[in-house]
């Protein structure tokens, strides 16, 4: 009887241990988890110059769904990096979904020049004057602190969107422009700051059968991405775009140079 009881206790313990171990995140890399097939997507390609306005009109005429922005929606726009005054660091972001601007600014404690610089940038780019500017200052100083990185201020500014041209005028000289992502431009400055901005882009989509949607994401620099959203593998997904290129007036020769790759997601 005692042996049976001990055996039962042992089995129960093993079951409990297996349940506990099964619930622990073992840190297995996503590549070892079962992938979910989402469809196909191409790498960004720069095709022969196209007129984005004409392309959009053709898409409407031929019955495509047309939306502005990138495939994943319109991106936030932001500045991040060192300011032109030594010891300063700025994070300034505008989020489209919530329509607010947030800024975070580090500077050397008691550096009045650095403080005046950030107020000048915000006043200029957000059209803040008089009482409105004073309210922003008061709100920002509520978050004042000092740590190893220096003094810090910042706050959320609702219903305000920066004029990015005015922002960039305060950052120094432009040293580079990178538009290697469809609809997104990165501008670098000699101060060390970088600005990420949305470029005009459209997403053109059409459902070709139940569960299969094809799309083209293209911007005014003629950067383009092709994608197919589907839940199963297709024999020749690229052939779906032959008519699309004809309808949109895009160079069909560029389609030949574009490769679609299988697109997967990995569950958490």
Question: In this structure, are 90 and 64 located in the same domain?
Answer: no
* In-domain check, residue 231: yes
* Local confidence band at 68 (pLDDT 50, 70, 90 cut-offs): confident
Task: Give me the mean pLDDT over the 137-153 stretch.
Answer: 95
Question: In this structure, are 113 and 149 located in the same domain?
Answer: yes
Question: In this structure, are 96 and 152 located in the same domain?
Answer: yes
- Give the pLDDT of residue 66: 93
Question: In this structure, are 161 and 95 located in the same domain?
Answer: yes
Q: Is the pLDDT of residue 46 over 90?
A: no
Give the range among 31-45, 157-171, 207-221 with minimum mean pLDDT. Answer: 31-45
Task: Give me the mean pLDDT over the 57-86 stretch.
Answer: 88
- Give the pLDDT of residue 115: 97
DSSP H or E segment with residue 78 = strand 77-82
- Give the pLDDT of residue 234: 95
Give the C-alpha separation, 77 to 195, whole Å.
8
Tell me if residue 127 falls in helix, strand or coil.
coil
Task: Give me the mean pLDDT over the 49-69 stretch.
Answer: 92
Q: Who contacts 220 (Cβ-Cβ below 8 Å, separation ≥6)? A: 52, 199, 200, 201
* In-domain check, residue 248: yes
Q: Is the pLDDT of residue 26 over 50?
A: no
Instruction: Tell me the pLDDT of the chain averaged across its residues.
Output: 86
* In-domain check, residue 91: yes
Question: In this structure, are 89 and 152 located in the same domain?
Answer: yes
- Give the pLDDT of residue 6: 39
Question: In this structure, are 68 and 121 located in the same domain?
Answer: no
- Give the pLDDT of residue 35: 85
Question: In this structure, are 68 and 107 located in the same domain?
Answer: no
Give the range among 33-47, 101-115, 124-138, 153-167 with minimum mean pLDDT. Answer: 33-47
CATH number, domain containing residue 240 = 3.30.310
* In-domain check, residue 22: no
- Residue 231 belongs to what domain range? 31-72+201-265
Give the C-alpha separation, 218 to 126, whole Å.
30
In total, how many domains does the chain have? 2
Task: Give me the mean pLDDT over the 63-67 stretch.
Answer: 93
* In-domain check, residue 189: no
Task: Give me the mean pLDDT over the 226-237 stretch.
Answer: 94
Question: In this structure, are 62 and 103 located in the same domain?
Answer: no
Question: In this structure, are 91 and 162 located in the same domain?
Answer: yes
Question: In this structure, are 91 and 153 located in the same domain?
Answer: yes
* In-domain check, residue 119: yes
* In-domain check, residue 94: yes
The angle subtended at Cα 141 by Cα 137 and Cα 146, nearest 5°, is: 140
The pLDDT tens digits of the residues spanning 7-19 come to: 333 434 333 333 3
Tell me if residue 88 falls in helix, strand or coil.
coil
- Give the pLDDT of residue 122: 97
* In-domain check, residue 190: no
Q: Is the pLDDT of residue 63 over 90?
A: yes
Q: Is the pLDDT of residue 134 over 50?
A: yes
Q: How far is CA 239 from CA 39, 125, 225, 255, 256, in A?
A: 14, 47, 15, 9, 10
Give the C-alpha separation, 258 to 48, whole Å.
13
Question: In this structure, are 65 and 42 located in the same domain?
Answer: yes
- Give the pLDDT of residue 253: 86
Tell me if residue 220 falls in helix, strand or coil.
coil
Question: In this structure, are 66 and 92 located in the same domain?
Answer: no
């Amino acid at each position: 009887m005692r042996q049976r009881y001990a055996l039962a206790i042992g089995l129960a313990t093993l079951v409990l241990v297996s349940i506990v171990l099964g619930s622990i995140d073992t840190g297995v890399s996503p590549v070892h988890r079962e992938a979910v097939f989402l469809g196909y997507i191409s790498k960004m390609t720069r095709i022969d110059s196209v007129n984005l306005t004409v392309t959009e009109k053709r898409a409407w005429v031929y019955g495509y769904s047309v939306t502005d922005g990138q495939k994943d929606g319109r991106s936030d726009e932001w500045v991040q990096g060192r300011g032109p005054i030594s010891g300063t660091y700025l994070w300034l972001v505008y989020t489209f979904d919530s329509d607010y601007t947030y800024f975070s600014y580090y500077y050397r404690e008691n550096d009045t020049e650095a403080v005046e610089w950030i107020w000048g940038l915000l006043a200029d780019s957000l059209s803040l004057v008089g009482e409105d500017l004073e309210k922003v200052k008061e709100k920002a100083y509520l978050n004042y602190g000092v740590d190893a990185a220096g003094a810090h201020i910042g706050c959320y500014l609702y219903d305000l969107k920066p004029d990015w041209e005015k922002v960039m005028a305060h950052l120094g000289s432009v040293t580079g422009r990178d538009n290697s992502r469809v609809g997104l431009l990165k501008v670098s400055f000699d101060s060390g700051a970088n600005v990420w901005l949305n470029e005009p882009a459209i997403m053109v989509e059409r459902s070709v059968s139940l569960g299969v949607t094809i799309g083209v994401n293209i911007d005014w620099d003629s950067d383009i991405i092709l994608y197919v959203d589907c839940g199963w593998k297709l024999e020749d997904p690229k052939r779906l775009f032959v008519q699309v290129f004809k309808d949109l007036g895009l160079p069909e020769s560029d389609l030949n140079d574009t490769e679609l790759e299988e697109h997967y997601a990995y569950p958490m």
